[in-house]
Amino acid sequence: MPAEEQPFPSVWTRPPRQRREQPSLSREQIVAAALRLMDAEGIDALSMRKLGTLLNAGATSMYTHVANKDELIELVVDEVYGEVELPVPGADWLAAVTGCAHSIRATVLRHPWLVSVLGEAGVAYLGPNLIRLTEAILAVFEEGGFPLEAADQAMNTVFAYVIGLSTSEAAWLTTLARSGQGEQEWAERLWPAAERAVRDHPRQRRLYAAQRGQNLAATRDGEFAVGLDCVLHGLAARLIPTS
């Protein structure tokens, strides 16, 4: 079925392609190489031509598995979701979801290009790894007392919180990587200008003074954990039936 005739052009919605002979490359090899390239050079570096060169493969081998770059990105995104630690249903749903949320954040920060394509990755939610993750999170929320519809709402809220914060962090860490500076070094160089900027704003001035010299990575970790705890307790108070 041509891509333009598919209701939703996606690697997950088109029928598998018929193969006349065994291709020289597997889908797994292509996805792994694309992931390495994107991690090393960013999303803008990805092209079918460049990937073919890296794999020493012709277009035929590449297009046996993917119709275009967009389909390849769908596959790579789902591959990344496969790195997330699945929550395990049990007595403590709060701990299980917390651990999974931290794993999602860590995964995003390992692959900071991910946040730039989440809104463009087709119907990524049909990828097998994301489906497994979704089912596992829904199961944990449901066993924790959330009705299924409320579990879905809770899961979407947690994803929104994690991806929202991780997007800002990923952008910040990408900027640092391009500058060649460490996080603490960058902050120390910026601090005098920041203090001058807020000198007429007493609340921000007090905050800046209290934060001077803190370990920024540890501070980001702590702020993420506190915010997540507030989100989860708020969801439980609002969505778990009391009777």
Tell me the per-residue pLDDT of 45-55, one tens digit each, with 9 for 90 and over: 998 888 888 88
d(CA 64, CA 158): 37
Query: Is residue 160 predicted with pLDDT exceeding 50?
Result: yes
pLDDT of residue 10: 82
Residue whose token pair is 């392609």: 17
Distances (CA, A) of 26 to 14, 53, 115, 188: 18, 16, 26, 48
Class of the domain covering 83-180+213-239: mainly alpha
CATH 1.10.10.60 domain position(s) in the chain:
3-80
d(CA 177, CA 131): 32
Query: Is residue 229 predicted with pLDDT exceeding 70?
Result: yes
Instruction: Report which secondary-structure segment, H or E, holds 7.
Output: none
CATH 1.10.357.10 domain position(s) in the chain:
83-180+213-239
d(CA 127, CA 83): 13
Band of residue 214 on the pLDDT scale cut at 50, 70, 90: confident
Give the best-scoring range by mean pLDDT among 26-40, 42-56, 70-84, 226-240: 226-240
pLDDT of residue 152: 97
pLDDT of residue 236: 97
The single-letter code of the amino acid at 108 is V
d(CA 103, CA 144): 20
d(CA 64, CA 27): 9
Distances (CA, A) of 185 to 42, 127, 158, 176: 24, 40, 32, 10
Query: Is residue 122 predicted with pLDDT exceeding 80?
Result: no
Band of residue 1 on the pLDDT scale cut at 50, 70, 90: very low
Topology (CATH) of 3-80: Arc Repressor Mutant, subunit A (1.10.10)
